[in-house]
Amino acid sequence: MYGVHEFKVFCNDLALVYNDLMEPGTFELREGKLLTCTNSSNNDDFNSIDYSGILLYSKHHNVGKTKTMVGASISIIALSCHLLTFCLVPTLRNFPGYNLVSLCLALLLGYSLFLIIQIPEVLGVFCIICGVLQLYFLLTVYFCMNVMAFDVWRTFKMATTKLIICSHNKKRNHFIIYSIYSWGMPLIITVLSVVIDNTEGAPSWIKPNFGRWDICCITNSIAINVFYTVPAVTLLLANVVFCFMSAFIIRNNTMMNVSDQQKQTARLNFILYVRLVLMMGVTWLIGTIANVCKERILWIILDLVNSLQGLFIFLLFTCSRKVFKHVGEKISIRSSKSSSSDNIVYI
């Protein structure tokens, strides 16, 4: 039984209970409360409110949607500021910086698509395309994180065996390979989901059902697990393994073949990446607890954390000493030029 604040009934006789979309005949309204005829958690077809990355509301669902859209808008602005800062501050344009930009770009596009699918006029084929693209970009975020984790571990591993001396061309080749992996693997998964969704005779339990009930994203819980949850969790676990292996190298102080400055840079990149992993991990943890406990406050917290991930990235990676130092130097140079021009005496 659910109270009045725990569910919403739509005009098409569907009911939304937390993150489960229930079909007519599976629930009953009695004295202002909703009674389920079947356990909604076992219902295969529902609207997943979140991909544990960006919240995905039905455009008919208004509870919490406004604050989530505001949070997503803030994240879009923050991510855009990071990309702009990356272009303006030369010290950010290093190899890890390019990997982070790839992640930010995918997350920015994912947030943008989230806002687009909230528009009531977004229906039909365009709605399905937006849902498919959002799945693709959200998967890309996790693959980009996997690339960053691998690169951090690889840097430490190389430091234990040989000098870290990479030419510009070699770094560029590495980035191309990383990009093919981080953007290509999600493409394969997404294309596979679309093919299955449009294949006659494919088992209904695995069909994503993009666009059903005017919900642009996947509306089949099993398909969400197959095409999103399993890849994302697998990548997160792999990232944790890379983090532990990197931490093991740091703890044993086996980086003997690099300078102190290179060690400091590698350790700083490791710390920043651990923060990013923790941010994503906390999101999954809150989402798991919310699914188990069905507490409304947990969903509110999850909404806020998910919608503000772009802001967190901006605060962690953009608001750094090197950026502030660069801005300070630019301001001091302009001030000195201005004072010099003021001291010119015209005859």
Higher pLDDT residue, 304 or 283? 304
> What's the confidence (pLDDT) of residue 169?
66
Q: What's the mean per-residue pLDDT of the chain?
A: 75
Tokens representing residue 99 in the block: 């990997």
Return d(Cα 343, Cα 337) in angstroms, integer: 10
Higher pLDDT residue, 172 or 195? 195
User: Nearest to residue 196, comparing CAs of 167, 218, 169, 171?
Assistant: 218
User: How does pLDDT run across 51-69, given as a tens digit for each residue?
Assistant: 444 444 445 444 456 778 8
- Specify whether the CB–CB gap between 226 and 234 falls below 8 A: no
User: How does pLDDT run across 85-136, given as a tens digit for each residue?
Assistant: 888 888 778 777 888 899 999 999 999 998 898 888 888 889 899 999 999 9
Q: What's the whole-model pTM score? A: 0.74
User: How does pLDDT run across 222-232, given as a tens digit for each residue?
Assistant: 888 899 989 98
Q: Which band of pLDDT confidence, cut at 50, 70 and 90, is reported for residue 220?
A: confident
Q: Which band of pLDDT confidence, cut at 50, 70 and 90, is reported for residue 19?
A: low
Higher pLDDT residue, 71 or 77? 77
Per cent of the chain over pLDDT 70 is: 64
Burial class (CB in 10 A: 0-12, 13-18, 19+), 82: buried
> What's the confidence (pLDDT) of residue 112?
93
> What's the confidence (pLDDT) of residue 54?
41
> What's the confidence (pLDDT) of residue 213?
74
User: Nearest to residue 281, comparing CAs of 303, 305, 304, 299?
Assistant: 305
The one-letter amino acid code at 134 reads Q
Instruction: Look at residue 234 and tell me whether its pLDDT is greater than 50.
Output: yes
> What's the confidence (pLDDT) of residue 108?
94
Q: Which band of pLDDT confidence, cut at 50, 70 and 90, is reported for residue 318?
A: confident
Return d(Cα 304, Cα 283) in angstroms, integer: 10
Phi, psi for 244 (deg, rounded to 5): -65, -40
User: Nearest to residue 263, comparing CAs of 138, 160, 335?
Assistant: 160
User: How does pLDDT run across 145-189, given as a tens digit for each residue?
Assistant: 899 888 888 877 776 665 454 556 677 888 899 999 999 999 999
Instruction: Look at residue 211 and tell me whether its pLDDT is greater than 90.
Output: no
Higher pLDDT residue, 289 or 38? 289
Q: What is the mean pLDDT of residues 32-41?
A: 54
Instruction: Look at residue 39 and tell me whether its pLDDT is greater than 60.
Output: no
> What's the confidence (pLDDT) of residue 94?
78
